[in-house]
Chain A
Amino acid sequence: MNYGIVSQEQIEKIDSILTDKLIKLGVDCVIVIDMAGNIITAKDNSESKYDVYSFAALAAGNFATVDAMAKLVGEEEFSLLFHKGQESSIHFSKIDEELLLISMFGQEISLGFLRLNVVDAIEQIKRLWNKS
């Protein structure tokens, strides 16, 4: 894939992976961003309205900060990044060196179950990436 430009077809495929694996599970909102804070795609359950652009900028900064902290204590990376709130929680997962997958979800979903599906979705997205 030519990073920096994504085709309509690629976005549609990613969107359908995100819908199948995460939105159908009950996740409120899923965003794929790059490490510069750009949004590749965002899917939601059409009830939640987040300000995705600000969110992406902050999420990229947050991830980069935690990543730099990991290096400082001699870790390659902190593989799980998870913020838990009363009503909603946020889960971050690295797709590759450039991309992040972020899920926002409520208390009805267990973290374990979410993680399984995130791993699945990332596998599928990676396969799609490497093919093109």
Chain B
Amino acid sequence: MSFINLKEKVVQVKIVYYGPGRCGKTTNLEYINRTFRNQIVSEMVSLKTHGDRTLFFDFLPFNMGKIKGYDIKIQLYTVPGQVKYNATRKLVLRGVDGIVFVADAMAKQREKNIRSLNQLHENLLSYKESIFKIPLVMQYNKIDLKEHGIPILPTEVLQKDLNSRLQVPHFEASAVTGYNVAATLKKIIASTIISIQKKLF
């Protein structure tokens, strides 16, 4: 749930990057952190293991500037992707306003993407939220690997696997090169703010 402070005229919005382990959620936030320095007020917080895997979450506060006189503060989170961490994944989803589902476009990850999306659906239900109602954007990441001869799922396949019922906006992307990372972010921010405005004003 977004939080609106009428005294300071601040709106806090929580956006979570969700997806299977090693699909590129943390890399998305790292790219945003490097590229939008002037919109980021503090350091990125990463709770990770020695092996550099996300243990709990990454957190990056992102200033959007003002809309209708309100200061919009976007809080970006990632979840830990490893299967065994579902309890903590669920904690991060508490109060979420918008979700980027990052799918790994590598052919061998096909099943993992589907399983992760199904679990997102269940985790949202436990907070009485619906994957069909919450603002959601699909990102098909690691598209750059195609050039290196690594088998990649065609976007039509990913769309059919993950987005045939949801019908949400989608982007092919590469979190390492930054391709469509900003486009994904802009889209989820726009959808989320529209949905908050509908709910509240």
Residues of chain A touching chain B, judged by Cβ–Cβ distance below 8 Å, are: 3-8, 11-12, 34-41, 51, 53-54, 57-58, 60-61, 64-65, 68
Closest B residue by C-beta to A14: B7
Residues of chain B lying within 8 A (CB to CB) of residue A5: 4, 6, 200
B94 at the interface (CB under 8 A from A): yes
Q: How far is the CA of A91 from the CA of B47 in the complex (A)?
A: 21
- Which residues of chain A come closer than 8 Å to B3, judged between CB atoms? 4, 34, 36, 38-40
| Interchain residue pairs A-B with the least CB separation, the first 9 | A36-B95, A38-B3, A8-B7, A11-B7, A57-B59, A64-B91, A38-B12, A51-B42, A5-B4
User: B57 to chain A: which residues have CB within 8 Å?
Assistant: 57, 61
* A3 and B5 alpha carbons, distance in the complex (Å): 11
What is the bound-complex CA distance between A4 and B3, given in angstroms?
A: 5
* Bound Cα distance from A5 to B87, whole angstroms: 29
Q: In B77-132, which residues have CB < 8 Å from any A CB?
A: 77, 87-88, 91-92, 94-96
Contact of A36 (CB < 8 Å), options: B8, B14, B41, B45: B14
Question: Which residue of chain A has its CB nearest to the CB of B96?
Answer: A36
A53 and B75 contact, CB distance less than 8 A: yes
Q: Find chain B residues with CB under 8 A from A12 CB.
A: 7
